[in-house]
Amino acid sequence: MNIYKYIILVCTIALVISCDKDELDEVPLEFLSPENSYTNSTDIETALVANYGILRELHNGVNNNIMHNGTDLCMSARNPETSGFGDYRVELSPSTGAVLEFWKLYYKIIANSNVILGRIDAIDYLDESVKDIHVAEARWFRGYAYRCLGYLYGGVPIILEEVSGPKRDFLRASKEETLSQAISDMEFAASNLPDISSISAEGKLNSAAAYHFLAELYIATDNYVEAISAANKVIDNSAISLMTSRFGSKASEEGDPYWDLFQRNNQNRNIGNTESILVLQEEFNIQGGTPIAQWESSTPFKYERYYGCLYWFLNDPDGEKIFFGPSTQNGGRPVGFVRPTPYFTHTIWGNGNWDVDLRNNNRNITRDWIVDNPSSSYFGQNISDFPQSWFNGLSAQDTLRDFYPNVAKISTPNDHPSELLLDESTGRMANSSGQTVTDWYLIRVAETYLLRAEAYLGQENTIAAAADINVVRSRSQAIPVVPGDVDINYILDERMRELNYEEDRRLTLARLGLVYDRTVLGNPFAGTTIEAFNNLFPIPFSEIQLNTELELEQNSGYVN
């Protein structure tokens, strides 16, 4: 028996020595794996599409309401004391689902990108310039993910290669190291992605999308000179400019350029929109898009459903419905999960700007509706014309969920697809409706101006900062800000006026270490329970548990 074992051992050693390594590698033939899925440039393109999909998922109005809720911008419309970060003691712990969800999505982008970067050199490209763009796209996505992780969690494990097997010894890098990696990836992307004027398809990455985030990352690392330089690369690009004249599908209707930005199908550059830099695409009810029969179970943009007030539930003083039902003319079929804070709806429009700033016009933030139910004795009247005593009869639920200022950009008023209407003659919406059926901005140059203003403020150059802010404000006919009034709180207010629901508000505040300060300032519910350590998310407890070979340190203030 011992001799038999010896013979087997010798034969095995001989076999290993005589075999070429490639002959021993197992390549699955009956299912997809990294070994057989990355064989040509089309495979790389497909893998990149997956990252674009995650980017959409992160900004679909469902996941990213966590990026708005419990800040100075938004709060829960249903139970604001206990849900939607109304109580930070309950909503933000190492075991909270949202904490793990964002961690997983960002690291999924990193994992996809690392596989692409690790396998792309083995692929023969007919055109090496296409390969360079693919590498730049993968690095943009990885840099974007580390940017978000660094702002939201602080220092995190930095993984730059494909992980092909179990690994339980991840070690947190510092926040500075995490942002440095994001900068490195974005710098490469900025130098190798095509100019925005030559992108091959709407929604594709371009160099301006990298320079924009570079400007932000440089600000986050106190490198204001480089931040201004990166912002200049965007603002000075001849193909990019703020939209200051009427344009697009409803340019002949009453409106303004800011309103035009958010009309259906006006977001992309092919319509003449030179302000857009990176737009997340939404294709409704077409092959490869969001089919109407599946929209509830799929991930289209659902800002209308989640952020819009439940206006069509509201009764008049006689108990009759004010509206005959949800309709396209009144903003679709929202259900009121997330509502704006009073700080956003009222405070930031003060100092004489309430009736001046076009972004606060009723077509951009709907505060008044016309009663359209013929059965109501108030038919044809504006709600604002009702006697004040009527408002005194509203319940707390009415004013929290059913009746609050409605940001129009979340929907497509008077322009919903016919497939979502029960009755085209009245505009009555079907029960299956509620999605935002147009594309969604990830980056507009208006934000680049505000980033450059922030960098100038970092240099204590309030004159230049005010000039950049006023470029944005002048488009909406707002009263210009004077240099002496420019500070970081003013810029954050201006971002709220201009970018409400577009920016990831929590990420912006976390970048500045101001989640706590601004939530206390502007959120009447979350502001009473938030603590300073909530400026960062906790590290997910499940990740700490799985990392058995090294300690994955928890952020200060949180208890596992």
CA distance 8 to 10: 6
Predicted pLDDT at 297: 47
So what's the pLDDT on residue 316?
Answer: 86
pLDDT over 60 at 295, yes or no:
no
Question: Region 262-291: what's the mean pLDDT?
Answer: 87
Q: What pLDDT sits at residue 284? A: 80
| pLDDT the model gives residue 403 | 87
CB within 8 Å of 181: residues ≥ 6 apart:
143, 146, 158, 160, 173
Rounded to two decimals, what is the model's pTM? Answer: 0.92
Domain 206-281+439-475 architecture: Alpha Horseshoe (1.25)
Taking Cα atoms as reference points, which of 60, 156, 172 lies closest to residue 103? 156
CB 557, CB 533: distance < 8 Å = yes
pLDDT band at 8 (very low <50, low <70, confident <90, very high): very low
The pLDDT assigned to 5 comes to 33
pLDDT at position 549 is 96
Chain segment 453-509, per-residue pLDDT in tens: 999 999 999 999 999 999 999 999 999 999 999 999 999 999 999 999 999 999 999
Question: Highest mean pLDDT: which of 233-247, 394-408, 410-424?
Answer: 233-247
* Residue 3 confidence (pLDDT): 32
Q: Note whether 151 and 510 are within 8 A (CB).
A: yes
pLDDT at 398: 74
pLDDT at 41 over 80: yes
Does an H or E element contain 339, and which? strand 338-340
More confident residue, 23 or 261: 261
Mean pLDDT calculated for residue range 313-323: 89
Considering only 272-286, 357-371, 465-479, 514-528, which range has the smallest mean pLDDT? 272-286
Beta bridge partners of 278: 443
Quick one: pLDDT band at residue 288, thresholds 50, 70, 90? low
pLDDT at 39: 84
Split at pLDDT 50, 70, 90, the class of 38 is confident
**pLDDT higher than 80, residue 291:** no
> pLDDT at residue 389 above 90?
no
Give the CA-trace dihedral at 464, 503, 509, 349, to 10 degrees: 70
Tokens standing for 376? 């109501």
Query: Between the CA of residue 418 and those of 333, 424, 427, what are the distances in Å?
Result: 14, 7, 9
Burial string for 478-503 (b: 16+ CB within 10 Å, else e) reads beebeeeebeeebbbbbbbbbbbbbb
CA distances from residue 536 to 133, 156, 506, 539 in whole angstroms, order as listed: 34, 12, 10, 9
Q: What percent of the chain has pLDDT over 70?
A: 89
The per-residue pLDDT for 287 is 62
Q: For residues 93 and 70, what is the distance between their CA atoms, to the nearest angstrom?
A: 14
> Which 3-state string (H, E, C) describes 52-97?
HHHHHHHCCCCHHHHHCECCCCEEECCCCCCCCCCCHHHHCCCCCH
Q: With a cut of 60, say whether residue 12 has pLDDT above it.
A: no
Domain segments of the chain as ranges? 206-281+439-475, 302-388+399-438
Dihedral sign, Cα of residue 287, residue 64, residue 242, residue 497: positive
- Would the pLDDT of 207 be above 60? yes
The average confidence (pLDDT) of the chain is 90
Average pLDDT over residues 181-198: 98
Host H or E run for residue 428 = strand 428-429
Banded pLDDT at 21 (limits 50, 70, 90): very low
* pLDDT tens readout for residues 109-140: 999 999 999 999 999 998 999 999 999 999 99
The percent of residues above 90 in pLDDT, for the chain, comes to 79
Q: Please tell me the predicted confidence (pLDDT) of residue 19.
A: 42
Q: How confident is the model at residue 384 (pLDDT cuts 50, 70, 90)?
A: confident
